[in-house]
């Protein structure tokens, strides 16, 4: 089936992405301007979360949150980029996408009242496409938004997207959560897991803006769209708030984030994740994990053969490549874990000391 083109939502900036080196089965699409992003559909056995039982009207959500949503302008030698963001705390920290501020030599933030204030970069994490900047603004303008729990979001929940599509600040659109547990490709080609899919209309310039639930809480950061035209005739994708909470905390504390790293590529197969590539010099290579050496056709599908199929990670069953990615993400560099593989029809367990994901 032909994939629809997907695009990052930053306005005025084109980011060229190369072939991904992250984990998981991949479907690639390219927009006419050459921008390539990836969104993957992931099957999951995760629990069905509890839906919101009471909510505000869209107007009430707007009134409660719009003063905390900002427009960000990033100046640079090559281009001028414009995106969205939201106030995270009363210290002036603002959350946005990494691809909005990448390469910026100057940053400014436009507030709801029309005032513009300069900002500095605190830190970025290309692996999750998140960034934190700090704005020099009067305390009275800083109205932080609340973070919700993306683990409690259900398909069909009302959502509201806010931001500055095409530079039109204060724009509000609404829709529903149309799918959960999607995978996006980050600017550095690693995988962003558990992304939220929505049919709320988002466009270029919405990058970094909040996706809000029926209580006005941030459940995601809008990052990518997938459509035939590159506009809002398709669906949008947001980085989940549980990821935002973890990454932003680290960026504020130290200005950087370290992710655990195994060093493989893989595809989902029945009962686990088949290793297709083991990168030289990585923890996976040092532990002796083996990549597939061939392929066979099973029920019309190409299946890797001759290599390891990972069936358990640190004692927990691996049901998909996405599950393994999430399990690795939950660890820290230097953690020692056990990995159980099917190798030649037999179960074998190896010990692996996880490394630090390259930037």
Are 327 and 229 found together in one domain? no
The tens digit of pLDDT for each residue in 132-155 reads 999 999 999 999 999 999 999 999
Q: What's the domain range around 206?
A: 1-257
> Could you tell me the CATH number of the domain that includes residue 175?
2.40.10.120
The tens digit of pLDDT for each residue in 285-338 reads 999 999 999 999 888 888 899 999 999 999 999 998 889 999 999 999 999 999
3-state secondary structure 174-195: EEEEEEEEEEEECCCCCEEEEE
Are 266 and 191 found together in one domain? no
339 pLDDT higher than 80: yes
Name the helix (H) or strand (E) containing 238: strand 235-240
- Give the integer Cα–Cα distance in Å for 84 and 194: 22
pLDDT for residue 359: 75
- Give the integer Cα–Cα distance in Å for 295 and 305: 5
Of the residues 257, 284, 305, the one at which a domain ends = 257
The tens digit of pLDDT for each residue in 151-210 reads 999 999 999 999 999 999 999 999 999 999 999 999 999 999 999 999 999 999 999 999
* Percentage of residues in the chain having pLDDT higher than 90: 74
pTM (predicted TM-score): 0.82
pLDDT for residue 42: 45
Of the residues 257, 292, 317, the one at which a domain ends = 257
- Give the integer Cα–Cα distance in Å for 97 and 37: 14
Q: How many Å is the maximal CA-CA distance in the chain? A: 65
Of the residues 257, 277, 295, the one at which a domain ends = 257
Total domains present in the chain: 2
pLDDT for residue 76: 80
Are 112 and 164 found together in one domain? yes
**Local structure of 348: helix, strand or coil:** strand
- Give the burial class of 329: count Cβ atoms within 10 A of its Cβ; 0-12 exposed, 13-18 middle, 19 or more buried: buried
Are 93 and 219 found together in one domain? yes
pLDDT for residue 310: 98
- Give the integer Cα–Cα distance in Å for 227 and 191: 20
> Could you tell me the CATH number of the domain that includes residue 317?
2.30.42.10
pLDDT for residue 281: 97
Mind telling me the catalytic residues?
99, 129, 207
- Give the integer Cα–Cα distance in Å for 238 and 206: 11
């Amino acid at each position: 089936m032909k994939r629809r083109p997907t695009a990052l939502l930053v306005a005025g900036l084109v980011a060229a992405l190369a072939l991904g080196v992250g984990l998981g089965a991949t479907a690639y699409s390219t927009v006419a301007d050459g921008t390539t992003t990836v969104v993957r559909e992931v099957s999951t056995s995760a629990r069905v979360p509890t839906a919101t039982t009471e909510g505000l009207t869209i107007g009430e959500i707007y009134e409660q949150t719009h003063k905390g949503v900002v427009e960000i302008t990033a100046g640079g030698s090559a281009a001028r980029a414009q995106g969205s963001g939201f106030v995270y705390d009363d210290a002036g920290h603002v959350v946005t996408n990494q691809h909005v501020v990448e390469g910026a030599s100057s940053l400014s933030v436009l507030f709801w009242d029309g005032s513009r204030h300069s900002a500095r970069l605190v830190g970025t994490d290309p692996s999750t496409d998140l960034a934190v900047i700090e704005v020099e603004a009067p305390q009275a303008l800083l109205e932080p938004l609340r973070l919700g729990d993306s683990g409690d979001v259900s398909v069909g929940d009302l959502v509201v997207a806010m931001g500055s599509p095409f530079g039109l600040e204060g724009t509000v659109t609404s829709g529903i959560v149309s799918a959960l547990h999607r995978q996006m490709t980050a600017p550095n080609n690693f995988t962003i897991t558990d992304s939220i899919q929505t049919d709320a209309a988002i466009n270029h310039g919405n990058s970094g803006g909040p996706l809000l639930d029926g209580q006005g809480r941030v459940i995601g950061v809008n990052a990518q769209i997938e459509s035939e035209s590159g506009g809002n005739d398709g669906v949008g994708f947001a980085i989940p708030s549980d990821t935002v909470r973890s990454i932003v905390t680290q960026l504020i504390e130290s200005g950087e984030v370290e992710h655990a790293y195994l060093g493989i590529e893989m595809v989902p197969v029945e009962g686990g994740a088949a290793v297709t590539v083991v990168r030289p010099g990585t923890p996976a290579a040092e532990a002796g994990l083996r990549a597939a050496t061939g392929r066979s056709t099973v029920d019309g599908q190409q299946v890797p053969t001759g290599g390891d199929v990972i069936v358990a990670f640190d004692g927990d069953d691996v049901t998909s490549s996405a599950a393994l990615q999430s399990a690795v993400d939950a660890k820290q560099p230097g953690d020692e874990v056990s990995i159980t593989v099917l190798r030649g029809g037999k179960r074998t367990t190896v010990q692996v000391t996880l490394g630090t994901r390259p930037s």
